[in-house]
Amino acid sequence: MLTMGFAAAVPVRVDAQTPRAAAPYTVLSAEGRRTVAAATVGDQEMLRLDELAALLQVTVREDRAAKALTVSRGTSVVVLSLDQGLASMGGKIVSLSAPPTRDGSRWLVPPDAVSRALAPIAGVRADVRKASRLIVLGDLRVPRITVQQEPGGPPTRIAIEIIPRAAYTIVQEPRRLLVKFDADGLDIGPISVGGGLVEAVTAADPLTLAIALDKDFGTFRASTVPVDAASSRLVIDLTAAGAPLPVPTGLARAQVPPPAAAPVARTEAPVALPAAQPPPGVRTIVIDPGHGGDEQGTKGSTGVLEKDLVLDVARRLRTVLDSRLGVRVILTRDDDRLVPQDERASIANNNKADLFISLHVNSSPSRNASGAEVFYLSLDGLSNEARKMAENPETKPVPVLGGGSRDIDLILWDMAQARHLGESAAFAVLVEEELRRRVEMSPNPIQQAPFRVLVAANMPAVLVEMAFLSNPQQESALTSDEFKNRVVQALVDAIVRYRGRVEGQASGRLP
């Protein structure tokens, strides 16, 4: 029996659309470094079109009657709709994250208009990196650099992610190390250091990072880990004067015993996976409690919220995995806050997780729907490039770094899960089997869907819907300790079985 459709409409909140000034974007091109003014309209960031037009040498004309902006250079023309986030170019329509907005006498356009509409007609490549407020025009090599100090020590360990890979040289000076990159510019992301033997990490010049050292610093050892075809990680271990030189564990080593006060030239070798790489296993697991903060997820008839239930189960799961399996467990959120979808996968990728498990609670327009479901990514969730790779596992990933007019992150991240679909399916089967022993399953217990959070995970990844909060009996069950613990036990047992499978494959046994 069909009992309900969607609830009655609620009023739609309308954001103030007045542009507010925001920090400018930096534009790097062969001509040098410039800035473009930015503004925020509602929650959308926008850039000054007149400044972009001057940089790209394009002409802008407003067609008021047609409610459109025509941007041209020579015979190339793109038409930006003023009503919709759409542009038309040579018979092709591309979507933009927002339509142009007027700020006084000037026009503002979303950052993706640069890579998708303006740069193509100007005949140049553009990488728009929103997180860094950076636009790279042309074929410049501008790696994204993030710096993190790993907890613990000694030694004090600094990990520098370099995407795409770039060669570098380390020079030791009194009280500081200089890491100079062979690139046209640096896109410096978050730097999270402090404590141990490091005082600070800063940009010394446009191509050099300076690591300021504590007075107790004695020596260092650097090693490079190729992360994948496109990126690498430089790990620098610092030890105090008089302490033994650290021996890095589990990392590739291209050894550099650095004589003090002498430049140490190091050029990164083409990727050769290190012999010292650890054998396959399940050492790190990332658990992703869905939603959070303002995004509540779904809601039960008694007011129970999905975001609270999944966080509770994630914490229970972490406790059991920590104590019984001895694996490293990381939660994408450990409190009530909204984590962006890409950040959830990035936490797993940056921590080199071996499994990614996203926890959710389901809802249907019908109160009858019930049972748990396990999802892994469908091919519909992949870009065309990634789909080809998934359909033909022999194909090596070919990241289109700085290629075409697409944002650099988009293609790389869209590729990530494609390589792992087979293992994701295998893990989904184990999770379903263990859940079935303990809780009610839906008539569709294992499914594939184009789920956003799974796309960028660079490891086997599943999304588990534990039960339907829209079903009153299931809502009641979901709030009980017994039900949550059953789900936790099912996941733990599935992980143990999966670990056995991975280790069995590594040692040549059948899974």
Partner 1 sequence: MAVSTRTVALIAITAAAVGAGTWAAVRYLNRPQDRSAARGPAAVPAGAPAEGARRIKATLYYVSADGLRLASSERDVLFAESASAQARRIIEALLEPAPEGLSSAIPPGTALRGLFLGEHGDAYVDFSGGLRTNHPGGSASELLTVYAIVSALTVNLPAITSVQILIDGHEVDTLAGHVDLRRPLPNAPQWTEKGTT
Report the C-alpha gap between 76 and 179 in whole angstroms. 43
Q: How far is the CB of 473 from partner 1 (least distance, A)?
A: 14
Q: How far is the CB of 373 from partner 1 (least distance, A)?
A: 8
Pick between residue 181 and residue 483 the one whose CB is nearest to partner 1. Answer: 483
Write the DSSP string, 147-199: EEEESS-SSEEEEEEEES---EEEEEETTEEEEEESSS--EEEEEE--BTTEE
Q: How far is the CB of 367 from partner 1 (least distance, A)?
A: 7
- 46's enclosing H/E stretch is strand 44-48
Here the tokens at position 348 are: 């797993």
Pick between residue 257 and residue 443 the one whose CB is nearest to partner 1. Answer: 443
Q: Are strands 59-63 and 168-173 parallel, antiparallel or unpaired?
A: unpaired
Helix ranges, 244-374 (H): 306-320, 341-350
Q: How far is the CB of 151 from partner 1 (least distance, A)?
A: 30
CB atoms within 10 A of CB 317: 25
Pick between residue 219 and residue 362 the one whose CB is nearest to partner 1. Answer: 362
Sequence-separated (6 or more) residues with CB below 8 Å from residue 7:
none
Pick between residue 146 and residue 383 the one whose CB is nearest to partner 1. Answer: 383
Pick between residue 251 and residue 410 the one whose CB is nearest to partner 1. Answer: 410
Pick between residue 32 and residue 340 the one whose CB is nearest to partner 1. Answer: 340
Pick between residue 208 and residue 447 the one whose CB is nearest to partner 1. Answer: 447
Residue-level length of the chain: 511
Report the C-alpha gap between 438 and 498 in whole angstroms. 18
Q: How far is the CB of 35 from partner 1 (least distance, A)?
A: 25
Which of these, 352, 414, 165, lies nearest to 271 by C-alpha position? 165
Pick between residue 57 and residue 301 the one whose CB is nearest to partner 1. Answer: 301
Helix ranges, 274-417 (H): 306-320, 341-350, 384-391, 408-415
Q: How far is the CB of 454 from partner 1 (least distance, A)?
A: 9
Pick between residue 149 and residue 362 the one whose CB is nearest to partner 1. Answer: 362
- C-alpha neighbours within 13 Å on the C-beta side of residue 35: 9
Helix ranges, 392-443 (H): 408-415, 421-436
Report the C-alpha gap between 357 and 17 in whole angstroms. 38
Coil/strand/helix, residue 361: strand
Say if CB 359 and CB 290 are below 8 A apart. yes
Sequence-separated (6 or more) residues with CB below 8 Å from residue 504:
510, 511
Q: How far is the CB of 372 from partner 1 (least distance, A)?
A: 12
| Residues pairing with 344 in the sheet | none
Q: How far is the CB of 174 from partner 1 (least distance, A)?
A: 49
Report the C-alpha gap between 101 and 47 in whole angstroms. 10
Pick between residue 115 and residue 224 the one whose CB is nearest to partner 1. Answer: 115
Which of these, 265, 282, 187, 270, lies nearest to 232 by C-alpha position? 270
| Residues pairing with 181 in the sheet | 168
Pick between residue 77 and residue 401 the one whose CB is nearest to partner 1. Answer: 77
Q: How far is the CB of 471 from partner 1 (least distance, A)?
A: 9
Q: How far is the CB of 476 from partner 1 (least distance, A)?
A: 17
Q: How far is the CB of 121 from partner 1 (least distance, A)?
A: 13
